[in-house]
Amino acid sequence: MRPKSTSQRKTKIKITGGIRKAYEMRDQRLDSDQDAPTMPPEFWTHATVGKYYRPIKTQVSFRIDNEILDWLKSKGEGHLVRINEILRERMSAERRTM
């Protein structure tokens, strides 16, 4: 059985006027590299950042209140994933305030 992938927030890439201007002002002599072709901004319109990111996971055991576990399980399958998402949201919020 294949493990479920970790759900991560994917960020759409926005093609701004500054990006278009930088693309037009690039050194076009470097475009001849066949191993690393330069893609126009339109190529990146539907691209996302973090699509294939999977953080390394460590198995741990911890105690949780029955009431909290019942609430998480009442939302359906994936209560362990939800625990991870809740902790990740809290971690991100604390990092933004620092």
* pLDDT of amino acid 2: 53
Share of the chain above pLDDT 90, in %: 38
pLDDT for res 3? 54
CA distance 74 to 65: 14
Model pLDDT, residue 80: 92
Confidence (pTM): 0.47
pLDDT of residue 18: 87
Residue 79 or 7, more confident: 79
Task: Point out the least confidently predicted range of 10-14, 43-47, 78-82, 93-97.
Answer: 10-14
Mean predicted confidence (pLDDT) in 59-82 = 94
Run of H or E residues at 88: helix 79-97
Element (H, E) at 49: strand 48-49
Question: Would you place residue 74 in the very low, low, confident or very high pLDDT band (cuts 50, 70, 90)?
Answer: very high
The number of beta carbons lying within 10 Å of the beta carbon of residue 13 is 13
